[in-house]
Chains A and B, each alone.
Chain A
Amino acid sequence: MAGVSSPSWSAPRYKPRREGMGRLLERDNPVRRMDWILVLAALALSGIGSLLVWSATRSRVEINHGDPQYFLVRHLVNLAIGVGLCGAVVALGHHRLRTAVPFIYGLSILGVLAVLSPLGSTVNGAHSWIVLGGGFSMQPSEFCKISIVLICATILSARVDAGEMQRPNARSILQALGLAAVPMGIVLMMPDLGSTMVMVVIILGVLLASGASARWLGGLTLLGALGATAIVQLHVLKQYQIARFAAFADPSLDPAGVGYNTAQARIAIGSGGLMGKGLFHGTQTTGQFVPEQQTDFVFTVAGEELGFVGGMVIIGLLGVILWRACRIAREATDLYSTVLAAGVVTWFAFQGFENIGMTLGIMPVAGIPLPFVSYGGSSMFAIWIGIGLLQSVKMQRSMAG
């Protein structure tokens, strides 16, 4: 970060809020302008996540290759890479990134197309992975979320930021929707329903923040509902996906199949009580009763072993991140930055709500990870790139004045 230099950064508009922290740094060092609360909350959440992933995989000999720390180490490595990517994004700056949006967009389309090609492979019924060999694999749909945020923010804000109009017109909205629909459609064909859901909500959030007229928002929501009905009716979804949707509210509908996941998740969390059973002491976790516990169901580890207090800490940290992110969006000086930040907020918020909600039995089961906490490189990288975008917006705002 220190290597980044720009003449426009030399005139800080505000006094540094924290003298103690700034004293170690140059007055004009961009690090001082970063939102440290956001970074620390994200790091804390990732730290808790690594403990939970560790606890969930310690005894899973069939996947941890006999090494109890296998997933812990990898999770931490992913985190380090994620933080590095975050730094790179900050160094690059989101405005400079705008010029690369067509390239990023094209790359993400290629990524998801590669999944549909023979390169892709199926994990847990979702054909959304590319196995890279050597134990590495990636999920291009995670990066696709970023490119959708970027492309929408760019198109919706272009003419507004240019001062040509007060808010995005129908043409730019349709343009943005059209461009976002391409990767979304591909992801839906994988089929990766969870990611598609997240993308739909991101688009709605981006449109909301862009100031698009309420008729567009209402109309699109209606369209989405009709589309979802049509998808079910036309059997686009696999049977297991519909079953998941039916069983989240009532696991007894299918106790041996889909309902098993939700029932076991609920038992794990419910049995945690106020203080939890203690890290590494959850019987549901040690006994591996919850499937996919280190990824999609990682919150059950927190619920069982850290209890209500631990669960609230995670929700609270997520709240801190989203509160800081909303603040960054509000304080952004141009529409591009605002929409970009709002897109990331929507992304994190919905993904967090859907993930925790499904373990608590109030949302249907969909294979999407809990930001910062779930094990998974692609997700971790994408999330920290999102943090990088937020930080960039924060610092650009300071610079822009």
Chain B
Amino acid sequence: MGNIPETGRTRRITGRLLVLQVLVLSLLGTLGGRLWYLQIRDGASYVQQASSNHIRTVVVPAVRGEILDANGVPLATNTTKLVVSVSRTSLIGQKDGGVAVLTRLGQVLGMTYEQMHDKVRLCDAKTPAPCWNGSPYQPIPVTQTATTQQAMQIMERQEDFPGVTATPAAVRTYPAPDKANAAQILGYLSPVTQDEITAATDANGKSSLSPSDQVGRAGLEYQYDKFLRGANGTSNLEVDNLGRVIGTAGGNAAVPGDSVVTSIDARVQAIAEQQLQQALITLRGTYDTVTHENFKADSGAVVVMDVHTGKIIAMASAPTYDPNIWSGGISAKDYAALNSTSSDYPMLNRAIQGQSAPGSTFKVVSTTGALNAGYNFDSTFPCTSSMTIGGRVFKNFEGENFGAINLSKALEVSCDTVFYNIAYQQWLSDGGTKPKNPKDWLYKTAHQFGLGAVTGIDLPGEVKGRVPDRQWHIDYYDAMKDTWCKQAKTESDPYLKAIATEDCADFATLRAGDEVNYAIGQGDTLVTPIQMARIYAALANGGTLFQPQLAKAIVSPGGKQVQTVQPVVQGHLPDSPSMINYIDQATANVITSGTAAWKFQGWPQDKIQLHAKTGTAEVVGKQTTSWFDTYTKDYAIVMTISQGGTGSGGSGPAVRNIYNALYGIQANNTIDPSKAIHPPAVGNLPGFHADGTVTTPVAYTVPALTQATPADHQAPLLAALDIAALAPERRTDGWQA
């Protein structure tokens, strides 16, 4: 083997080996070049891809700000619930896949291993509930209602529960202090939709909302959502190819939301809600002599306003519901119940979303209009039992006749024929059916009183009501002409057929009957309780229309920054001081000798002068709407009850009880100032501490309510007077959303 000739070393072979060597080295050169291309030339883009590959950003939800009443009592807050979570990453890493840990955890929480296992499995198309629908690298909550003892058991024996944590988490709750649930004011939260996330996306493609967020859907939760929500934080988690968390890579902390201090006084709110509910219950047991059945009293609203600032002290709407059903996701059953006709839509805030004819409470507008049109304080008008205008008879209810009376008396006794007379005279002087530069004093005044337009209260979804002026007649005729003209041909009911025929012919013109009905707050007039509250508050404060407001201040967490919400003057009533005095006197007389006197016997009018106007508005096909609009030098209270009978009879006792509580008036009509509730003034905010707690400046006890005046079945004559007789109401507007 040793004697091998060197025949292999031919030049040919040497050449071939050189070729091989060149090939081999050029292959390596290619690799080097490619490596440079990837790492140096394109390196930056791969660095970015690598980081998006292994960093998962998890949202750290911001704690939502509170909604507080004027004393700092929370109306909407967050409760801490102990949430026990299990980390899938940790379970996967355990030798038995976490069976032992889940079994032990199940024993602590009173669940079987199967139940635990089902809760932590990931959802897919085939997996039935329960399953985890969230991100697999976030800890999966297995219970939100762990007791402190269970949490302690888990946290003290961490070695037995690797990957299991018990952490407090914030859950929105509405504590309803003193049962003041204020559901429609507060609103509710529900998860964001994809469209909202897209809409909240800025130029950089980052959305201020994340899919796990809840946003305000109604009420103050909606109105002040951007303050309450705060800013979510992020936590950057390093994950591996299976999404298992292998470390953290920083992030930024969540910024808690600001709190909203409202002017709502929970004590007054509680009383207002209770009294509204009581009024409805009482009425449902009261016989209506007009319809010969008990009052239906299906719904109602009450507003308590600070007359000097327009701040809302209480605002209740009935029917109502418990807003806590939204917490942690509303059930399908509850949601269906909220939106059914049988529940009568309790989410509606009827104080701002319910509109109906104001009836005689509108007469303060008509009186102002009449005085501005040139009538005097002493001008007298015949308060006859009826009046014939354009061939139609307009009646005072039950044909009462007070003889010739002035406007003040007409307000006090709510004489319709006096206002018919004024309206007819105005209609004639404006040119009748052929108007010539009409002054339209009565309509102009309504607009000056802020009717037919939203008040701008800091709540969403307010409706604006309707002033049926000439322009509205033209617009509405255009919209309805075809319907009416068709109805005029086909309608079988002779009364409806006559109306349809009439409307088809000349609804576009303001007819005498239209203005006559309008003058007593009937016909096509629609108002909301908040509009009426603003008007009566203006009468109390000398004529200033304030924007109704619920928020007093926006306060940052810990009370460091306070942004007060200043009262906004929106305008002034078109009344001179003497006109306001004139109306003041008349409305005070309503309590002492007028339409409300029967419900205010013994009222300490000499100490607390109360002013009121009753209203009993007719609605076709329904029982009358009760309106009771009142004010003192401090507060304006407006209550309305659908199908609630007369203004004073339906709402009077409830309003009186609210005043009793506010002023500390006892059952024997003496005043005990120590029992009075004093809602804090505008600039008087609750004390905030750095740790976020709030000092409640007053001892918190709701005074015992004085006994409601028993419902009187035998309504006196005066109370019945303010029913506008035979108002040709043609549309069953009633409560409108």
Q: Is A56 positioned at the interface, with any CB of B under 8 Å from its CB?
A: no
Q: Which of B32-40, B213-221, B691-699, B723-731 forms contacts with chain A? A: B32-40
In whole angstroms, what is the CA distance A330 to B18 when docked? 8
Q: Which residues of B contact A311 (CB under 8 A)?
A: 35, 39
**With A211-B13, A326-B20: A353-B46 Cβ-Cβ less than 8 Å:** no
Q: Which residues of B contact A326 (CB under 8 A)?
A: 17, 20-21, 24
**With A208-B20, A286-B240, A330-B17: A315-B8 Cβ-Cβ less than 8 Å:** no
A308→B36 contact, CB < 8 A: yes
Q: Which residues of A contact B35 (CB under 8 A)?
A: 269, 303, 308, 311-312, 315, 360
Q: How far is the CB of A104 from chain B (nearest CB, A)?
A: 18
Which residues of B36-56 are within 8 A (CB) of A?
Answer: 36, 38-40, 42-43, 45-47, 49-51, 53-54
Nearest residue, chain B, Cβ from A212: B16
Q: Which of A28-36, A189-197, A317-325 forms contacts with chain B? A: A317-325
Which residue from A210, A271, A334, A350 sits with its C-beta under 8 Å from B7?
A334
**With A59-B246, A209-B20, A287-B238: A270-B8 Cβ-Cβ less than 8 Å:** no
In whole angstroms, what is the CA distance A337 to B23 when docked? 20
Nearest residue, chain A, Cβ from B23: A349
In whole angstroms, what is the CA distance A83 to B240 when docked? 36
Q: Is B332 positioned at the interface, with any CB of A under 8 Å from its CB?
A: no
Q: Is B107 positioned at the interface, with any CB of A under 8 Å from its CB?
A: no
In whole angstroms, what is the CA distance A335 to B27 when docked? 25
Q: How far is the CB of B463 from chain A (nearest CB, A)?
A: 53
Beta-carbon contacts of A243-256 to B below 8 Å, as 1s and 0s?
00000000000000
Which residue from A287, A334, A356 sits with its C-beta under 8 Å from B31?
A356
Q: Is B157 positioned at the interface, with any CB of A under 8 Å from its CB?
A: no
A287→B8 contact, CB < 8 A: no
Beta-carbon contacts of B1-32 to A below 8 Å, as 1s and 0s?
11011111110111011111101110110111
In whole angstroms, what is the CA distance A269 to B28 when docked? 17
B28→A273 contact, CB < 8 A: no
In whole angstroms, what is the CA distance A208 to B32 when docked? 25
In whole angstroms, what is the CA distance A199 to B488 when docked? 99
**With A273-B40, A286-B240, A360-B35: A319-B25 Cβ-Cβ less than 8 Å:** yes
Q: Is A307 positioned at the interface, with any CB of B under 8 Å from its CB?
A: yes
Nearest residue, chain A, Cβ from B50: A271
A161→B7 contact, CB < 8 A: yes
Nearest residue, chain A, Cβ from B12: A211
Which residue from B9, B20, B34 sits with its C-beta under 8 Å from A333?
B9
A315→B238 contact, CB < 8 A: no
Nearest residue, chain A, Cβ from B48: A271
Q: Which residues of B contact A161 (CB under 8 A)?
A: 4-5, 7-8
Q: How far is the CB of A346 from chain B (nearest CB, A)?
A: 7
Which residue from A160, A269, A284 sits with its C-beta under 8 Å from B8?
A160
Which residue from A274, A287, A330 sits with its C-beta under 8 Å from B54?
A287
A323→B12 contact, CB < 8 A: no
Q: Which residues of A contact B240 (CB under 8 A)?
A: 59, 286-289
Which residues of A155-208 are within 8 A (CB) of B?
Answer: 157, 160-161, 163, 166-167, 205, 208
B93→A61 contact, CB < 8 A: yes
Q: How far is the CB of A45 from chain B (nearest CB, A)?
A: 13
Nearest residue, chain A, Cβ from B15: A211
**With A161-B8, A333-B6, A333-B8: A349-B27 Cβ-Cβ less than 8 Å:** yes
Q: Is A64 positioned at the interface, with any CB of B under 8 Å from its CB?
A: no
Total number of A residues with any Cβ neighbor in B under 8 Å: 67
Interface of B is mostly: helix
A289→B54 contact, CB < 8 A: yes
In whole angstroms, what is the CA distance A319 to B21 when docked? 10
Q: How far is the CB of B9 from chain A (nearest CB, A)?
A: 7
Interface of A is mostly: helix
Q: Is B704 positioned at the interface, with any CB of A under 8 Å from its CB?
A: no
Q: Which residues of A contact B13 (CB under 8 A)?
A: 209-211, 335, 338
Q: Which residues of A contact B31 (CB under 8 A)?
A: 315, 353, 356-357, 360
Chain A CB within 10 Å, residue with most, of B2, B7, B40: B7
Which residues of A353-374 are within 8 A (CB) of B?
Answer: 353, 356-357, 360-362
Q: How far is the CB of A341 from chain B (nearest CB, A)?
A: 9
Beta-carbon contacts of A302-316 to B below 8 Å, as 1s and 0s?
011001100110010
Q: How far is the CB of B8 from chain A (nearest CB, A)?
A: 3
Q: Which residues of A contact B6 (CB under 8 A)?
A: 333-334
In whole angstroms, what is the CA distance A284 to B239 when docked? 10
Q: Is B125 positioned at the interface, with any CB of A under 8 Å from its CB?
A: no
B53→A289 contact, CB < 8 A: yes
Q: How far is the CB of A238 from chain B (nearest CB, A)?
A: 24
**With A61-B93, A266-B46: A322-B24 Cβ-Cβ less than 8 Å:** yes
B10→A166 contact, CB < 8 A: yes
Q: Is A283 positioned at the interface, with any CB of B under 8 Å from its CB?
A: yes
In whole angstroms, what is the CA distance A400 to B7 when docked? 13
In whole angstroms, what is the CA distance A338 to B53 when docked? 49
Q: How far is the CB of A308 from chain B (nearest CB, A)?
A: 4
Q: Is B241 positioned at the interface, with any CB of A under 8 Å from its CB?
A: yes
Which residues of A260-296 are within 8 A (CB) of B?
Answer: 264, 266-274, 283-284, 286-289
B17→A288 contact, CB < 8 A: no
Which residues of B124-180 are within 8 A (CB) of A?
Answer: none
**With A272-B43, A330-B14, A362-B34: A286-B246 Cβ-Cβ less than 8 Å:** yes
B34→A360 contact, CB < 8 A: yes
Q: Which residues of B contact A208 (CB under 8 A)?
A: 16, 19-20
Which residue from A205, A270, A273 sits with its C-beta under 8 Å from B20?
A205
Q: Which residues of A contact B2 (CB under 8 A)?
A: 8, 399-400
Q: Is A332 positioned at the interface, with any CB of B under 8 Å from its CB?
A: yes
Q: How far is the CB of B455 from chain A (nearest CB, A)?
A: 57
Q: Is B242 positioned at the interface, with any CB of A under 8 Å from its CB?
A: yes
Q: Which residues of B contact A356 (CB under 8 A)?
A: 31
Q: Is A301 positioned at the interface, with any CB of B under 8 Å from its CB?
A: no
Q: Is A342 positioned at the interface, with any CB of B under 8 Å from its CB?
A: yes
**With A273-B39, A303-B35, A303-B39: A157-B50 Cβ-Cβ less than 8 Å:** no
A284→B53 contact, CB < 8 A: yes
**With A209-B13, A270-B42, A335-B7: A287-B25 Cβ-Cβ less than 8 Å:** no
Q: How far is the CB of A378 from chain B (nearest CB, A)?
A: 24
Q: Is A27 positioned at the interface, with any CB of B under 8 Å from its CB?
A: no
Nearest residue, chain B, Cβ from A333: B6
Which residue from A266, A333, A338, A342 sits with its C-beta under 8 Å from B38?
A266
In whole angstroms, what is the CA distance A350 to B30 when docked? 12
In whole angstroms, what is the CA distance A361 to B31 when docked? 10
Q: Is A390 positioned at the interface, with any CB of B under 8 Å from its CB?
A: no
**With A269-B38, A270-B43, A312-B32: A337-B246 Cβ-Cβ less than 8 Å:** no
A269→B20 contact, CB < 8 A: no
A318→B39 contact, CB < 8 A: no
In whole angstroms, what is the CA distance A349 to B45 when docked? 31
Q: Is A336 positioned at the interface, with any CB of B under 8 Å from its CB?
A: yes
Nearest residue, chain A, Cβ from B42: A270
Q: How far is the CB of B728 from chain A (nearest CB, A)?
A: 73
Q: Is A38 positioned at the interface, with any CB of B under 8 Å from its CB?
A: no
A349→B24 contact, CB < 8 A: yes
Q: Which residues of B contact A211 (CB under 8 A)?
A: 10, 12-13, 16
B30→A362 contact, CB < 8 A: yes
Q: List 7 A-B contacts (CB under 8 A).
A: A208-B19, A272-B39, A307-B39, A334-B4, A342-B20, A353-B27, A353-B28
Q: 5 tightest CB-CB pairs across the interface, nearest first? A: A270-B46, A335-B8, A271-B50, A287-B240, A349-B24
Interface contacts beyond A270-B45, A319-B25: sample of 6 additional A-B pairs, CB < 8 Å, sorted by A: A209-B16, A211-B12, A271-B47, A287-B54, A315-B31, A361-B38
Q: Footprint of B on A, CB under 8 Å? A: 8, 59, 61, 95-96, 157, 160-161, 163, 166-167, 205, 208-211, 264, 266-274, 283-284, 286-289, 303-304, 307-308, 311-312, 315, 318-319, 322-323, 326, 329-330, 332-338, 342, 345-346, 349-350, 352-353, 356-357, 360-362, 399-400
Q: Footprint of A on B, CB under 8 Å? A: 1-2, 4-10, 12-14, 16-21, 23-25, 27-28, 30-32, 34-36, 38-40, 42-43, 45-47, 49-51, 53-54, 93, 238-242, 246
